[in-house]
Structure 1
Amino acid sequence: MPGKRRSVGGNTRLLLVAASVIVAFAANAAGLFFGITSVLPHLFYLPIVLVAYWFPRRGTASSLALSLGYLAMTLPFARGDAGLAVAALARAVVFVAIGAVVSLLSLRLREQEQRYRGVFDNSEAGTFIVAPENAGPRIEEVNYVGAALLGSTAKDLIGEPITRFLDDPGAWRDFQVKVRPDKAVYGYETALRRPDGVAVQVIVSGGRLPDGRIILTLVDITARKSAEDALRQANTKLNMMGRLTRNDLMSAVSGLLRRISEGMGEFDDPAVRRYLESLEEDARFVQRRAEITRDYQDLGLRPPGWQPLQEVIREVTSCLLLPGVSVRSWVERLEVFADPMLDRVYVNLIENSARHGETVSEVVITYQLRDDGLVIYVEDDGVGVPEAEKEKIFEYRVDGGGGLGLFLVREILSITGMTIQETGRPGEGARFEIHVPPDGYRLI
């Protein structure tokens, strides 16, 4: 059918061009017999422009042929009249120039249209052009992916109100407010409702065209949202299982410590008491590990977000008991994209300095902009970390040799692409460097 329509359209254009050529030559021939030579030649502009616009690759040759035909008809009537001959030659040159210019512009226009049509039709996103009308915004054009997204065909969707397919009718009003004439909207999430009742979750991007129409691109994220929900439910169940297991473990450890305490009061043999003391030390180690994991049971459960670092550190220091240690932070205006448990990062770093720094009197937190992102420094004036331990302090070891707190610090930061390392000089204080990727921070 499209090929047939193109054929019919091409035949109509050829008839119009032929009719305009016949009219132009007939009118000019009649005019020459009656001595009219300055007005009627303008009729040639019509076939020249039509051919150059509709058939741009033949526009220049056709205008040249029409010009030669005009000269062949006009020059015999000049009969030595140099003015008429010069005027005819000038018009012929203008005819050719107009044909060439219109052909060039038409070719450029066709190339841009083909490029646009290729992007529109072959995009993996559903693409719509919506025309605002008094009766409501209606679909003016849609590609195959967009039609499939709505469970229909492009032909059936033309003229349909876009609000008919929105699960929440108010979403379109909200979207229109965001799409101002000089703005575009990206990442707007909403739900569509197909005619068969099936809901489809999409991300919408759009912008307003100069004529007031709105172009939309829709990406189906239903599968992704389902996977996120399934993962969230799985994490919730795992956390619940971890909580129950930890409670059972804590109860068992408490019972073990109670029995060890009873044994310490019952036996006086030094060898037995030493054995019981070693058991008590191991049991308390397990107890401490279980207590620490309780603080991190929700790690990664909630989505990351932008957090004002100065406010996070202020809340952390207000809850910590740090006798003789002052915490100074110089991170105003800095926000980082991090897991909601970012506060536990700074709790552990500050407590680590106070507990292991021995001579620590202050902890200073600053930042520095770099070409590859941003670096946050957490420094103290304690004894520092020996070179051989700089990486080991972030490791988790079953024997308890590693620091579980710093291991979890690294895990929390890694959720949003941040890294941490210790770069201080032994004897001069510890210095933790947190590297934030370029898209993970902003200054407000």
Structure 2
Amino acid sequence: MNSHRRRSANRDTRLLLLAASVLIAFIANAAGLLAGVTIVLPHLLYLPVILAAYWFPRRGIVFSFALALGYLALVLLFTGGDAGEVVSALARAGVFVAVAAVVSLLSLRLREQEERYRGTFDNSEAGTFIVAPGESGPQIEEANYVGAALLGLTTKNLVGKHAAGLFEDPGTWEALAAEIDRSGAVYGCETTFLRIDGVTVRVLASAGRLPGERIVLTLVDITARTNAEDALRQTNAKLNMLGRLTRNDLAAAVSALLGRIAGGRREFDDPGIRRYIESLEEDARVVQRRAEVTRDYQDLGLRPSGWQAVQKVVREVTSCLLLPGISVRSWVERLEIFADPMLDRVFSNLIENAVRHGETVSSVVITYRILDDGLVISVEDDGVGIPEEGKERIFDYGVGSEGGLGLFLVREILAITNMTIRETGTPGKGARFEIHVPPGGYRII
């Protein structure tokens, strides 16, 4: 409602100024024609022509045409129809219309760009601020509704406030400004703003340089996201603690069970009973191994993923494994992939599986190739391979002599960053595990 009143008041003021300029120009030209002055004073008519075309571009040409007709009538009235004066007046009238057409076109384009900017600025879901130099330092020159609401203020109250005062740490603004001066822009800087009521708001801030030493600053509220992440981390920490306690209790129970089984083997000599006790012992050992594996993977997905040099990961893994008579050659220099911090478990499991189940394995080779839909890392051995019917089942939970946790968790680790794995080797010639890395998930440095 207030904006409508302001537009109406501006329109009335412009109409008043335009009418005054027309009246003054015509009075001056009438006086000039009476005095015989016909060259200088007609230029006064350009003022209302330009004002009308700029302020009311859709009516600027019509206005200039009417003004030209009025000027022609004035010339005919005061010169008595002198041919030379009439021709000169017609030429000026044509120039009036041409000037109005050019100014109207430029004004329309300017307004279209301004409306586009205003629509983007006002309707953006991000808080947007224009920061300009001020006497006491950089100040908020303009802000949209989202930005003002983010800080618990109105756009009117926000204008003129010192930019550094918006941050919980005032030094953050100086750091942002320095980075903008250095590189021209800042993107996705996570920081904390301070609302008028003292509540902190976590935001992603981006900023860039504008003409006139101004800076455009945009903020995206991530408070809910960071709170959810914190709650998730706390929940995961509690679940980990519960899992650790449960695993310790289970390990203690299995150890006690193995002790009783060992006592039973010493006590009974009957072959049937001894076979039964041995089967119980093997089952207990499987439970024990599963508990040990889950200990290794208790932090799966808890730490943020990041870029990892594959060659370095493989080198560290092989240095910790016992590989008698087996060579591991990796040709993955300069390759980095975006993966969970537990990527080393992937390669250690694949290499250990080759050693444990390949029977005739003498070498493991790790290579990569770039495809149209990403990149493939191959871990290949020269062992007995895997039968066709078992290629997919080996990744299922609970399959295999070791309980199937190794390859099952390998797939889960890779899936965190949208990687997949499959077995493509030839039975009798060796196993080959192919890890598919999606576009954007790898880089060659």
What is the TM-score normalised by the length of structure 1? 0.95
Question: How far, CA to CA, are the matches of 1:303 and 1:49 in structure 2?
Answer: 61
Give the match for residue 169 of structure 1: 170
Give the match for residue 180 of structure 1: 181
Give the match for residue 231 of structure 2: 230
Query: Any conservation in 2 of the 1:357–1:383 contact (CA below 8 Å)?
Result: yes
Give the match for residue 200 of structure 1: 201
Give the match for residue 433 of structure 1: 434
The SS at the match of 1:438 is coil
**312-321 vs 392-401, which moves further:** 392-401
Residues 136-182 of structure 1: per-residue CA shift (max 9 Å, x gap) = 22111111111111111111111011222211111111211222376
Which AA in structure 2 matches 1:331? Answer: V
Which AA in structure 2 matches 1:307? Answer: Q
Which AA in structure 1 matches 2:103? Answer: V
Residues 9-62 of structure 1: per-residue CA shift (max 9 Å, x gap) = 222211211111122222222223333333222211111110111111111111
Query: Any conservation in 1 of the 2:286–2:402 contact (CA below 8 Å)?
Result: no
Give the match for residue 414 of structure 1: 415
Query: Any conservation in 1 of the 2:129–2:140 contact (CA below 8 Å)?
Result: yes
Coordinate RMSD, CA, aligned: 1.9
Q: What pairs up with 1:114-263 in 2 under 5 angstroms?
A: 114-180=115-181, 183-263=184-264
Which AA in structure 2 matches 1:388? Answer: E
Residues 214-236 of structure 1: per-residue CA shift (max 9 Å, x gap) = 11221111111111111101101
Tell me whether 1:375 sits opposite 2:372 in the alignment: no
Give the match for residue 54 of structure 1: 55
Give the match for residue 298 of structure 2: 297
Deviation at 1:101, TM superposition (A): 1.3
Give the match for residue 12 of structure 2: 11
Query: Any conservation in 2 of the 1:205–1:217 contact (CA below 8 Å)?
Result: yes
Give the match for residue 314 of structure 1: 315
**406-415 vs 318-327, which moves further:** 318-327
Deviation at 1:400, TM superposition (A): 5.5
| Structure 1: runs of 5 or more not aligned | none
Q: What pairs up with 1:95-110 in 2 under 5 angstroms?
A: 95-110=96-111
Give the match for residue 384 of structure 1: 385
Query: Any conservation in 1 of the 2:201–2:221 contact (CA below 8 Å)?
Result: yes
Aligned residues: 444
Deviation at 1:119, TM superposition (A): 1.8
What is the TM-score normalised by the length of structure 2? 0.95
Which AA in structure 2 matches 1:99? Answer: A
The SS at the match of 1:385 is coil
Query: Any conservation in 2 of the 1:393–1:402 contact (CA below 8 Å)?
Result: no
Query: Any conservation in 2 of the 1:395–1:402 contact (CA below 8 Å)?
Result: no
Question: How far, CA to CA, are the matches of 1:36 and 1:365 in structure 2?
Answer: 95
Give the match for residue 70 of structure 2: 69
Deviation at 1:388, TM superposition (A): 0.5
Question: How far, CA to CA, are the matches of 1:380 and 1:93 in structure 2?
Answer: 88
Query: Any conservation in 2 of the 1:181–1:208 contact (CA below 8 Å)?
Result: no
Tell me whether 1:285 sits opposite 2:286 in the alignment: yes
Query: Any conservation in 2 of the 1:418–1:434 contact (CA below 8 Å)?
Result: yes
| Structure 2: runs of 5 or more not aligned | none
Query: Any conservation in 1 of the 2:394–2:400 contact (CA below 8 Å)?
Result: no
Question: How far, CA to CA, are the matches of 2:357 and 2:228 in structure 1?
Answer: 43
Give the match for residue 33 of structure 1: 34
Deviation at 1:417, TM superposition (A): 1.0
Give the match for residue 344 of structure 1: 345
Give the match for residue 394 of structure 2: 393
Query: Any conservation in 2 of the 1:17–1:51 contact (CA below 8 Å)?
Result: yes
The SS at the match of 2:435 is strand
Query: Any conservation in 1 of the 2:393–2:399 contact (CA below 8 Å)?
Result: no
Question: How far, CA to CA, are the matches of 2:440 and 2:181 in structure 1?
Answer: 26
The SS at the match of 2:385 is coil
Question: How far, CA to CA, are the matches of 1:333 and 1:36 in structure 2?
Answer: 84
Residues 288-319 of structure 1: per-residue CA shift (max 9 Å, x gap) = 11111111011111111111222111111111
Question: How far, CA to CA, are the matches of 1:28 and 1:326 in structure 2?
Answer: 102
Deviation at 1:287, TM superposition (A): 1.0
Query: Any conservation in 1 of the 2:286–2:403 contact (CA below 8 Å)?
Result: no
C-alpha spacing 1:364/1:85, structure 2 compared with 1 (3 Å):
farther
The SS at the match of 1:377 is strand
C-alpha spacing 1:182/1:285, structure 2 compared with 1 (3 Å):
closer
Question: How far, CA to CA, are the matches of 2:141 and 2:204 in structure 1?
Answer: 20
Query: Any conservation in 2 of the 1:131–1:138 contact (CA below 8 Å)?
Result: yes
The SS at the match of 2:104 is helix
Deviation at 1:184, TM superposition (A): 2.6
C-alpha spacing 1:399/1:428, structure 2 compared with 1 (3 Å):
closer
Residues 195-220 of structure 1: per-residue CA shift (max 9 Å, x gap) = 21111111112211122211122111
The SS at the match of 1:197 is coil
The SS at the match of 2:317 is helix
C-alpha spacing 1:418/1:222, structure 2 compared with 1 (3 Å):
same
Question: How far, CA to CA, are the matches of 2:120 and 2:47 in structure 1?
Answer: 34
Deviation at 1:406, TM superposition (A): 0.5
**73-82 vs 416-425, which moves further:** 73-82
Residues 374-415 of structure 1: per-residue CA shift (max 9 Å, x gap) = 222222222221110111110002785862101000001111
Question: How far, CA to CA, are the matches of 2:95 and 2:329 in structure 1?
Answer: 80
